[in-house]
Chains A and B, each alone.
Chain A
């Protein structure tokens, strides 16, 4: 189905999304369209709500007590927060990779097979494991030790294992929450190369603290910032600017964006 759609079509769109934890507003009034089969990066200073927005894209925020969302998040024409939507089904279509590598305490093979099994995959599991590991550029390093624990891998390998495990459930979108922040530069490069490969088959949204990384991997960039509003004492995150990565880093429209990408604050 995806092949017939044009490459620039919007995959996920946020319409006036505000998210609050109990009474603290974390993010306000986000309008955003994530294009299909592109890499979209979220950048911004700490506490601006970029991870919160990322987590709302596959309803991971449901697992945090007191988190509520207003506005609409539309995926393939369906409102993800409609009452009839099953969050488990959402997460099968929109997978997530976390900041800290979190392999399961199982073998490398089972780490990847887990998601496929619970999703009712009936094909050749060995083949799926190999394909997923190859896509995550981890096959050569692990093909001889598939039965070893996922914990036996290095941090960078663990993170690629987590990406492979997400690929194995064949989602449409992969969300990555600062996937390289705990990794060394070489592992970071490997993962960035992988992201370039993956965007042919998946839509990717990545949160990053590293602006060079955003430049290297992304097609679109959203800059989040903290602003003060007249009706709130505390600062609230909001989307300052959303445009081509080139535009954001070379000729941003907003002064705050300019200041941030040129390293004057944040």
Chain B
């Protein structure tokens, strides 16, 4: 390689950083703008968590978790029935949404990768995930509650669970579909090359390989469903008593918050804050659980 003449490579200025250069000023300015916006973006998260903690955290006690809410005008009591109710309704929703959603995702990813029906289902899933939750509630109200479909009962835990399952379904289908698409094609071919049928390949190789992302998606779907209010207001309704089976109205935390926060009684308002705190905590735990599941290393 020939050397360049020294005149060409001479550097008249030093290498020292000069803050006054236009590029460095712009750099500093835009970095500051980005920092401010990201701070604003995190602010609601921090404030909501902080405020709920502040207002509700002080009310946490054993009685809060185990007792019924007091009648209007009286003090004390707890939100035990609502916690139990949220668990029951979410469980019903999961029992419907997980098998249907995982099954649908398996169909999309494994059986019909690009057929017109698969495209249609994928599109429908995207639309469904954008449907406002109150519309899911109205739909189930029209389908189950007003027609008294279950044993002549109108409002019921079952109806609430079905409404929540409609909300969970798109999340579960999508995460299953995406997770299975990430499984290397070589694994499927390897299993098929050993004489495994498609069913065996899916149940023994592909699904176990994709277990972690699917489980993560399912847990996040559950966490989302557990916090929903709108679809429960006119499906599960509310009850001041302990749950009386799946086919009766049931108390849930989100509806309890909705009801109690606007009551003109201080005891109820305080319980609404406490319930908010517990609900946020449960959703936080679910998210942490999802992260923990995601960290599972495969065999």
B interface vs A, CB < 8 Å?
Answer: 113-114, 184, 186-197, 200, 204-205, 208-209, 298-299
Q: Complex formed: what's the CA distance from A162 to B204 in Å? A: 17
A149 & B299 in contact (Cβ 8 Å cutoff): yes
6 contacts between A and B (CB under 8 A): A98-B186, A102-B184, A104-B190, A105-B208, A105-B298, A106-B299
Also in contact, A114 and B204, with CB within 8 A (given A98-B186, A107-B299): yes
Please pick, from B189, B196, B197, B204, the residue contacting A102 in the complex, using a CB distance under 8 A.
B189
Task: Give the chain B neighbours of A169 by CB distance below 8 A.
Answer: 194-195
A95 & B196 in contact (Cβ 8 Å cutoff): no
Task: Give the chain A neighbours of B189 by CB distance below 8 A.
Answer: 60, 63, 96, 98, 102
Please pick, from B188, B193, B196, B197, the residue contacting A166 in the complex, using a CB distance under 8 A.
B193
Q: Complex formed: what's the CA distance from A73 to B66 in Å? A: 72
Q: Complex formed: what's the CA distance from A179 to B122 in Å? A: 38
Please pick, from B184, B187, B193, B204, the residue contacting A118 in the complex, using a CB distance under 8 A.
B204
Which residues in window 145-202 of A have CB below 8 A to B? 149, 162, 165-166, 169
Task: Give the chain B neighbours of A98 by CB distance below 8 A.
Answer: 186, 189-190, 193
How many whole Å from A250's CB to the nearest CB in chain B? Answer: 34
Q: Complex formed: what's the CA distance from A100 to B200 in Å? A: 22
A interface vs B, CB < 8 Å?
Answer: 58, 60, 63, 65, 88-89, 91-93, 95-98, 100, 102-107, 110, 114-115, 118-119, 149, 162, 165-166, 169
Task: Give the chain A neighbours of B200 by CB distance below 8 A.
Answer: 118
A58 & B193 in contact (Cβ 8 Å cutoff): yes
Also in contact, A91 and B205, with CB within 8 A (given A98-B189, A106-B299): no
Task: Give the chain A neighbours of B190 by CB distance below 8 A.
Answer: 98, 102-104, 162
Q: Complex formed: what's the CA distance from A92 to B193 in Å? A: 8
Task: Give the chain A neighbours of B197 by CB distance below 8 A.
Answer: 88, 118
How many whole Å from B15's CB to the nearest CB in chain A? Answer: 46
B186 & A63 in contact (Cβ 8 Å cutoff): no
A166 & B194 in contact (Cβ 8 Å cutoff): yes
B187 & A88 in contact (Cβ 8 Å cutoff): no
B195 & A95 in contact (Cβ 8 Å cutoff): yes
How many whole Å from B196's CB to the nearest CB in chain A? Answer: 5
B195 & A91 in contact (Cβ 8 Å cutoff): yes
Closest 5 CB pairs of A and B: A92-B195, A96-B193, A102-B186, A115-B194, A102-B190
Task: Give the chain B neighbours of A95 by CB distance below 8 A.
Answer: 193-195
Please pick, from A58, A65, A105, the residue contacting B299 in the complex, using a CB distance under 8 A.
A105
Task: Give the chain B neighbours of A93 by CB distance below 8 A.
Answer: 195
Task: Give the chain A neighbours of B188 by CB distance below 8 A.
Answer: 63
